[in-house]
Structure formats: C-alpha cells, structure tokens
Amino acid sequence: MTTIPDPAQLTARLIRCASVTPDEGGALVLLADLLGAAGFECHRVDREGVPNLFARWGAKGARTFGFNGHTDVVPPGDPVSWTHPPFSGHEAEGWIWGRGATDMKSGVAAFAAAAIGFVTETPPPDGAVILAITGDEEGPGKHGTRALLDWMAANGERMDVCIVGEPSNPDRMGEMIKIGRRGSMTLQIEAHGIQGHAAYPHRARNPLHALLRLLYELTEAPLDEGTEHFDPSGLQVTTVDCGNPASNVIPERARAVINIRFNDAHSSESLDRMIRARAAAISADTKVDFAISTDVSGESFLTRPGPFVDLVAGVVREETGLTPVLSTSGGTSDARFVKDHCPVLEFGLVGHFMHQVDERVPAEQVRQLARIYRRILERYFA
C-alpha cells in the first residue's frame, strides 16, 4: 500500500538536499523514489549537466493535468547569519526553516503529495498526471523546463493544462493567482566615439552625449499606459559607464544597460526594432556608432479567464474563503516556457521569505496548498 507523504515533512526532507543551482543535491532522487513507488513512470531528463525529472501517472495521451516546479535554490549566503542552518530543514513551532522553504521546495512537496494521494485514492479512469520538475529555474533556465518540454515533444508527452507552483500570494493564502507575466529583456548598448581633449571637442566625438540622448528619448515617455490585464510596461536604465578616470578626456566608448518588463502591447522584437531605429537616427546625426546586444528572458503571455482559470479560482475560494485576484504582476517564472506548450497559471504559497536569510514557511500552509492541489485534480477529472 502506498504511503501518502505529509507535504510539510516532505518539504523538510527536500530542504536537507543542498541543491544550489545547478547541483541536484539528492532532491530529484528523493522525489523519483516517492513517485515511482506510487506508480509514476519517472525519467531523468538531464541536459548539459542540468538535472530534471519527468514523472507521469496514467496512460500517455490521456487527458492530462500537469504541475511544474523546481528544486534548485539560490545560495544561502553566510550560514552564520541563519537562526538555523540553511539546509537543516529545521521544524519548530509550526515553521519549517531552510533555503527553499518558500521558493519552492514547499510547492513541489505540495503538488507531489497531492498527486500521489489523488492517484492512490481516487485515480481517474481515463486521465494522467504529469510532474515536470527542474533543477535550473534559479539559474540560466536554458536547460531546465525548456529541456523537459523538448524531451516531452520528442517522446509524445503532452500536458493539457499546467499549474506552476511558484509562490503567488503577496500576503494571504488564496488572494492571488498569476494568469500571465510580463516579458523581460535586457539590452547592452555601447556607443563608440572618438577620444579627445575636453578643451578641443571639435576634434573628438563624445559617445556619452549620444548615449545620454538615446537614454533620454527612451525614458522621457511611458512605453504604454497598460492593457486590459497588464500594468504599464517599464523601461529602466540600470547601468551607465565609460570607465574614464580623467576629467579632461572625452572618452572613446560609453555603455549602458537597460531592462524592459513589457506587457502584451509589445514583443521583444518590436521593442528591439524601436530602440535600434532610434539609435540609428542619433548615430546619423552625431556620427557616434552604436552596438546593441539583446537578451530576451521571455515574452509576455496571458492565460485568459475561462474554464481552467475558473476551476482553479473556485477551488482556491472554497479552501481559503478569499476570491483570488487574477494578476500578471511580478517577475518571470518557468511559466514563460510552459505557455508555449499548454495553458498555464501560477498558484502557490505566500512568498514573504523567499531568497532571504532565515527563509521559512508555516507547515500548515504547505498542507493547505496540498489540499488545494488535490481538490483541483479531483475537480478537473470529475
């Protein structure tokens, strides 16, 4: 007989696996053993040294509900700063302490426990449950959930819908579901001029002047006023530098970095095209050349309200007594990859202590999240 794991205790066990990106630390081995014993077909999907786990219960091709999450964590910093050792999984007075307690070993433990309980006690006759768990969400993200989705496509695996178990609630359990995210891109902009004496500017071309002109044009007005489901896009200058220690020298080069979090009024391609066009116009006027490189973390996406969102929101409301706000706020998550595979949303714990010293989570909140996930599965396959 399969033993259904207590999600709080499983959280503590996972915390004791020191899985700082990209080290697996034994977390995926622990999960594969538990899921395999419950009848899940498990596959390690490692790529470029990044550990990932795919687990499916039920027939391939059946109606499938998926969960996505990660067991890797950010470094804990100086262990001396912690009340309890960061990988102790210490349990006291209703709290579980350790790196990953909030982000997001608790979420993985909750959906793993919910899935095991569901397929053991109330298995659907014609459905399947998939768990796609990565060890590369806190890192570059190139060989984590992306690798799992690539492997699934190559092996005929498919999720019809998916919940990413990231912490989604700002203050109270049940107050927010993430139905989308803004896109994110970073641009490195370098201006190339001609070095010269500050007293003889006609013999030089100041790249800082051209660069500052470009930055002013990009920031003088908002990119947009927001859309139906998104706040306004934001463009932030994060670095300006020319490496010039002398006050009487016009530098040869100057560089800036900008980060853009954009809504569904834009794409990374349209924003990149706009910035390059403005740089070209300034270059033609100033004779200062620009070199621009662009790194896109993800495009904006939205899972529009409908049956899937309504089902999850209804269960959250029943379990917590709160009507969740349907939000697109926050940074990025692996949902930005899953959205190309199937409809996806994010629902997880309250994120108060993620990435902090003394990261911790209430044990009962983890158990409540597992109950919500279990009820979602039951409702979906009813």
pLDDT in tens, 109-160: 999 999 999 999 999 989 999 999 999 999 888 999 999 999 999 999 999 9
| CB-CB contact of 165 with 68 (8 Å) | yes
Active site residue 137: yes
pLDDT at 332: 85
pLDDT at 331: 83
Region 189-213: mean pLDDT is: 97
First and final C-alpha spacing in the chain: 24
CA-CA-CA-CA torsion sign (99, 105, 106, 107): positive
Region 177-197: mean pLDDT is: 97
Q: What is the layout of strands, in order, in the sheet containing 289-298?
A: 234-241, 253-262, 183-192, 289-298
| Secondary structure percentages of the chain, helix, strand, coil, to 5 | 30, 25, 40
Q: Which residues are annotated as a binding site for Zn(2+)?
A: 70, 103, 138, 166, 355
Region 273-287: mean pLDDT is: 98
Q: What is the layout of strands, in order, in the sheet containing 360-362?
A: 91-92, 95-97, 360-362
Looking at the predicted structure, is the pLDDT value of residue 170 above 80? yes
Using one digit for the tens of pLDDT, what is the confidence trace for 214-248? 999 999 999 999 999 999 999 999 999 999 999 99
Using one digit for the tens of pLDDT, what is the confidence trace for 43-87? 999 999 999 999 999 999 899 999 999 999 999 999 999 999 999
CATH number listed for the domain at residues 183-298: 3.30.70.360
Region 283-302: mean pLDDT is: 96
- Going by their DSSP bridges, the two strands 301-302 and 253-262 should be labelled as unpaired
Quote the Cα angle for 297-168-369, to 5°.
130
Instruction: Tally helices (H) and strands (E) across the chain.
Output: 9, 19
pLDDT at 196: 97
- Is the pTM higher than 0.85? yes
Domain ranges of the chain: 7-181+300-381, 183-298
Region 341-345: mean pLDDT is: 97
Active site residue 72: yes
**E strand segments, the chain:** 41-44, 52-57, 63-70, 91-92, 95-97, 127-134, 161-164, 176-178, 180-181, 183-192, 196-197, 234-241, 249-250, 253-262, 289-298, 301-302, 325-327, 344-346, 360-362
Which pair of tokens denotes residue 372? 């919500």
| CB-CB contact of 257 with 275 (8 Å) | no
Looking at the predicted structure, is the pLDDT value of residue 1 above 70? no
> Active-site residue among 24, 72, 319, 334?
72
Region 20-40: mean pLDDT is: 97
Q: Which residues are annotated as a binding site?
A: 70, 103, 138, 166, 355
Domain 7-181+300-381 listed as CATH 3.40.630.10: yes
Quote the Cα angle for 11-164-171, to 5°.
70
Looking at the predicted structure, is the pLDDT value of residue 21 above 80? yes
**Using CA atoms, how far apart are residues 288 and 250, in angstroms rounded to an integer?**
13
> Active-site residue among 91, 137, 319, 334?
137
Q: Phi, psi at residue 248, to the nearest 5°?
A: -115, 20
Identify the residue whose tokens are 């006023």: 225
